[in-house]
Structure 1
């Protein structure tokens, strides 16, 4: 597909117009990172000027970086834990955000042995999807023909809980896979998976792996690439195949 020169990227020739726009966005966001970050901070402070937490520090409407650094202290998770617990217990007032908290994202728990709760809003899913959409345009610069086959990607959900106030608490990828952003995503030839949504969303990790592996083997002639979000996931898939292929497939 011919791409307009106006959309060309310094990173290289894009594969299509959609890729060109994504690469242009990357270029714009990374060319002037200082001003971009200052603008993002100003938008966050303006939008959340009336939240309970920020009002404690008397910003008086200031949105510049220097005022923010001089008045807002460096904190740890434990410093915000009382506010987070209030939200988890059902307090819907503007404590940390003017937008309603839609759910909690959980940490892996590897640093302190206990999962931390990170409040998030529905609008964050849009930003997350935008970040995910930038992967293939960059890969297409270096590996041509990625739209000609399917991807055998091992994607999994993990367990989730509800807080006393009724909000979900779950890992970030589980949140994304269970959202409409993923389940009703538009067709994209660069992101066609062998695994159906039902296999990815299966809560039983063994059954999910079995089904995804089976679908990949059944469509092996179309598999162009193999992967997982984390390298450990791919290693787990290889080990699963070693342990079970003789008696199962």
Structure 2
């Protein structure tokens, strides 16, 4: 629990104002604290020789990637002293949600991360309550899940950040305020069986449907996954509500005991009839608002690679605001959305200077010098670096951000993509931003027919010459079972996607360095199989994201064995270049 949990709303507002008005001083003080504390570590000793001067830190400590610091983290994971990288004991390792390619990272952490998480949650609650009057009168239906914990060779637990938080005293002893009031008992959140837990989350939420004022998951993809469970299970959920007893296949004891307490053995035939009437309608447009009529907003990350899920959420959630409340990663907390009612595409995050020391590398123009948080310029784009209290120094996190404004003197940043190129065959360099833009344009064409896009990933296929981009799509009919794929529509989707890419892509296509873009349609449920494969390999249930670009050979095999149709762009190479 952070100390501001005890503050009233006026006092919390003053904390936010102070942080955002004194950015430079707070950042300088934090860097001094970090360097003074950790200057004796093996890592920093190599560069600072015991000094804590900011100038020496900037001059001597190198800018690094995860690959550069992985050997040090591995040594701690294998049982060596935390003092290799951190003066504070490393108590656990985070299994990150990975990069756009789906490759996980193991990152150090300790209680300082949880302190930052508690602090940022308190400020988020303050901001939300200002914009959503009455939200505090109900509960949150949050689909939290705990992944499996494994141990490093040295005995440190390896898990995702959310799982660690849910099992921590910070969560167990959380403040008794609206922001931490949920429809699901803690035992459901602490379970690790995806199917059982999501079913139980939904059941508890439906029983308390008139009390739900908000619902959410970590990522937008998590909400889409929940809707899929609802589609598959609503009849059984209604049966459980009607009888007052939980289905026998729920075998997790924590789930079973806690949900049985919620149901109380009390039959609810009227409630069951109401839910059944809503779910049996032909169209599910706005279904989430119909089932939970008091809901005021949907909470999930809808920026970055999650942008692709926004149209799906808008369909099922109707006019409910989609709110990305905060910006965080396994490396650090960063900031909060101080304008939560903005459109998803306008989401920016106000960086808070007390969470980590932030630096920025300009992506264009200038001389490439690293600038401090207080010195970033409006409209400019940067690569983000972090230095934290638990063992990471001047590390690239891979995000490209753009300064869209300021909250007092604290910059507001929009995440516009990842540092690494997503797809490349020749001299083309297609970023995640361009791919998502192309997919969303093609999605509009697809949805003009009776089809909608469920999920996608991409692959740079160089098995033949010239190589070409492959886009794997899982699609379904809007209102009824899918019969035949509309060839004309899918071919137009290929054309629209190619027309979206940049001039370098067009140059490569016109000179036949690149072959025509291909859409490969896969069976229903293929992306669930891809997720299950990743989880079986140790990925986090709670933080799993469909990789925007697939690099795993096993993942490719799952996709390829489920391909049911292929469509190639018919754009002629000689006509590719735009006038």
TM-score range, shorter chain: 0.7 to 0.9
C-alpha displacement at 1:60, in angstroms?
Answer: 4.3
Q: Which runs of 5+ in 1 are unaligned?
A: 1-15
- Which residue pairs with 2:177 in the alignment? 188
1:1-249 map, 5 Å: 18-64=8-54, 66-249=55-238
Check conservation: 1:151, 1:192, Cα contact below 8 A: yes
Distance 2:89 2:202 in 1: 39
Q: In the alignment, is the contact (CA less than 8 A) between 1:59 and 1:71 conserved in 2?
A: no
The residue matched to 1:158 in structure 2 has which SS? Answer: coil
* Distance apart, 1:93 and its partner CA: 4.7
What is the SS of the residue equivalent to 2:227?
A: helix
Rate the CA distance shift 1:170–1:24 in 2: closer, same or farther, 3 A: same
The question of whether the paired residues in 1 share the 8 Å contact of 2:203 and 2:237 is answered with: no
| CA deviation vs aligned residue, 1:44-94 (integer Å, no higher than 9, x gap) | 001112111111013542332x32111111111111111111100111251
How far residue 123 of structure 1 moved from its aligned partner, in angstroms, is 2.7
Q: In proportion to residue count, which structure has more strand?
A: 2
Answer whether contact 1:150 1:192 (CA < 8 A) is retained: yes
Larger radius of gyration: 2
Larger relative contact order, structure 1 or 2 (CA cutoff 8 Å, min sep 6): 1
Note closer, same or farther for the CA distance 1:87–1:60 as it changes in structure 2 (3 Å cut).
Answer: closer
Q: Unmatched 5+ residue regions in structure 2?
A: 1-5, 239-579
Query: Separation in 1 of the partners of 2:100 and 2:42?
Result: 29
Equivalenced residue count is 233
TM-score (norm 2): 0.39
1:225 partner SS:
strand
Instruction: Give distance in 2, aligned partners of 1:180 and 1:60.
Output: 35
Which structure dedicates a bigger proportion of its chain to helix? 1
Quote the Cα distance in structure 2 between the aligned partners of 1:44 and 1:86: 21
| Contact in 2 for aligned 1:158/1:171 (Cα 8 Å) | yes
Q: Report the CA distance between 1:150 and its aligned residue.
A: 1.1
Cα separation, partners in 2 of 1:221 and 1:163, compared to 1, 3 Å:
same
**Cα pair 1:59 1:67 within 8 Å, conserved:** no
Q: TM-score, normalised by structure 1?
A: 0.88
Instruction: Report SS of the residue matched to 2:93.
Output: strand
Deviation of 1:142 (Å)? 1.2
